[in-house]
A = this chain, B = another copy of it.
Amino acid sequence: MAKEQKGGISPTRGEDFPQWFQSVVRDAEVAELDHVRGCMVIRPWGYGIWELMQRALDDAIKRSGASNAYFPLFIPLSYFEEEARHVEGFAKEMAVVTHHRLEQDPEGGLRPAAELPEPLVVRPTSETIIGRSFAKWINSYRDLPLLINQWANIVRWELRPRVLLRTTEFLWQEGHTAHASEEEAREKTAEMLGVYREFTEGPLAIPMIAGEKPEYERFPGAVSSMTIEAMMQDGKALQSGTSHYLGTNFSEAMGIEFTDADGERRHAHTTSWGLTTRMVGAMVMTHGDDLGLRVPPRVAPHQVVIVPIARDDPAPVLESAGALAEELAGASFDDSPVRVHVDRRDHKPAEKRWEWIRKGVPVVVELGARDIDSGVITITRRDDAELNREQHPRESAAGLAEALAEIQATYMQQARERLEARTTTAVTSLEQFRDWFSGEGTADGGFVRAPWSEDPATLKTMGELGVSVRCIPFDADLTGGATCVLTGGPAKVEAIFAKAY
C-alpha cells in the first residue's frame, strides 16, 4: 500500500523485467496498445518525448544536407514484384488495401465494397516508391547527390506485438539518398550512422556499439547494413538505428540512372537509413527504475515541474509558482530556455509529486506558503535514488540548468558503465557461451564479444539459445590465430553476440 502511494512500478525490474516494462509504459502514460491488435496510442507524455527526439534528429539530418519530403502511404503491389529479395523480407507482414468503399450488408452491418483493380500495400518501408521518384528526378550527374528524408508512419504486421518495441504501426524517419559513386554512397551510409550515434548518445544518453551487420541480418536488398546497438537493463540488445548501402540493386530494378560527366549512362548508388519510435522504448528500458521513467533532460517535455502546496489560500502560492516558473525559463539548457511546467491541477500535492517522478521529470520543485515566506524551494532530483527533498534558497533556482546537465551526464555515465561491465570477452568456449546465455536473468545477462567463424552452422546453435550476432563492431580487434567461440575453428571476425529485442 505504501508502495502504491509512492507510485512504485509493479513488478520491479528484478522481479520481471518484461512485465516491468509494460507496467511502466502504462503507468507513466507513455503509450498503450489499443483499438487494433498491435497498434499503438502514443499518449501526450510519450509523444512529447518523441517530438523532442524528432526535433533533435531532424536538425541533425538537415545539417547533413538532406531535405524532408513526403511519399504515398500506399504502394502498388506490382512495385514489389521487381525486387525479389526485398519483397521476400517483407511479404509476411504487409497490410493490404483491397477495397475503397463501405456498404451496408444484409444484416445492417458494414462491409467492404468497390474492389480495387490492383491491391495496394501499406508501406512497410519506402525504397520501392521513393526509388521510382528518384528515377524520374535524376537525369544528370548534376542532380546528384540527391538526399531525401521522410517522417512517416509504417506498417509491418506483427504477430507478437509489444508496445513501442514491436508494433504493427510505428513512426519513423527514413532517409534515402542517391550518389554517383560507390565511395560517396558508402561514406554517406557511415555518416548517417554517425548522426544516429550522436543523437542516441547525446539527447537520449544511450551508449552504443556500432558495427556492421553480418550477412544474414542485412536489410533485404542491401549490400551492407550498419547498425548501432544498445544494451537494455536486462542485458539484451536493442537495435537502435540502421544505415544501409544498397549498391545499385534498387537502381537497377527501378531505373535510377544518370548521365555522367563523361557522357555515359550509369546506375546511381543508393542508401537508406531509419530510426523509429522504438527508441522511446529503448529510453524507458535504459534509464527507468522501480519508481518509473527517468527521462534524460534533453528529451523531457517538462524538465522542471513545480508542484504548488496550498491548502487554504491557493492564489498567492500559484502566483509565486508562476513567477518562479518564469525565472527558471529564463535559464538556458541545451541551447533552449528550461522547459518548466506548473502543475495547477486540483489534486493532492503528494500525488502530483509522485506522478511526475513516475513520469521521469528530471527535477520536481515543491513550493508551499511557508517556503515563500522563508525564501526557499524544495527540490527532488530524479537521478537521486533516494529521492531526497533538498531545500535551497529560492535565488539558486537558476542553478537548476546545471542540475539538468548533471542529470543528463549521470544517466549516460550509468548506462555506459553497465554496457562496459556487462560486455564480456571472457567467454571463449561453446560451453561458456551456453552458460552465459542460458539464464533468463536480469542482472546476469549481457553481451559476449568474441571471435566468430561466420560458419552458417553457428546460426542454428545461436538460434537455440535465442542469441544473434548484433554486429561486427567497427573497433573489432581480431588477433591472428583466434578461434571461433562457437566452433573452435578459425575465426574470421570479432562479433557481438546477444539476445535482442
Residues of A participating in the B interface, judged by any CB pair closer than 8 Å: 34-36, 39-44, 47-48, 50-51, 67-81, 87, 91-103, 109-112, 119-122, 129, 132-133, 136, 142, 148, 152-153, 155, 157, 169, 171, 345-347
Bound form: Cα–Cα A97–B122 in Å? 9
Q: With a CB–CB cut-off of 8 A, which chain B residues contact A35?
A: 71-72, 74-76, 79, 129, 132-133
A73 to B35, CA, bound (A): 10
Q: Is the CB of B91 within 8 A of A69?
A: no
**Residue numbers in B under 8 Å from A73 (CB-CB):** 39, 122, 153, 155, 169
User: Could you tell me if B101 and A93 are in contact, using CB atoms closer than 8 angstroms?
Assistant: yes
Which residues of chain B are within 8 angstroms of A157 by Cβ–Cβ distance?
100-101
Considering the chains assembled together, what is the distance between the CA atoms of A282 and B404 in angstroms? 44
Would A94 and B100 count as touching, CB distance under 8 A?
yes
Q: How far is the CB of A132 from chain B (nearest CB, A)?
A: 7
B109 & A119 in contact (Cβ 8 Å cutoff): no
Query: What is the CA–CA distance of A43 and B130 in the complex, to the nearest angstrom?
Result: 11
Assembled-state Cα–Cα distance A88/B111 (Å): 13
Bound CA span A72–B38, Å: 10
A44 engages B72 (CB within 8 Å):
no
The answer to whether B98 and A94 have CB atoms under 8 Å apart is no
Q: Which of B50, B91, B129 contacts A102 (CB 8 A)?
A: B91
**Taking the nearest CB of chain B, how far is it from the CB of A445, in angstroms?**
32
Contact A100 B110 (CB under 8 A): no
CA gap between A77 and B119 in the complex, in Å: 19
Is the pair A94, B101 in contact by a Cβ cutoff of 8 Å? yes
CB distance from A40 to the nearest CB of B (A): 7
In the complex, chain B residues whose CB is within 8 Å of the CB of A51? 68
Nearest CB in chain B to that of A143: its residue = B345
Residues of B within 8 A of A43 (CB): 69
Closest chain B residue, CB of each to CB of A169: B73
What distance in Å separates the Cβ of A220 from its nearest Cβ neighbour in chain B? 13
A102-B110 contact given A43-B69, A133-B41, CB 8 Å threshold: no
Which B-chain residue is minimally distant from A76 (CB atoms)? B36
* Smallest Cβ-Cβ distance to A146: which chain B residue: B44
Q: In angstroms, how far is the closest chain B Cβ from the Cβ of A339? A: 12
Instruction: Given A41-B71, A98-B98, A102-B94, answer yes or no on A110-B77 (Cβ-Cβ < 8 Å).
Output: yes
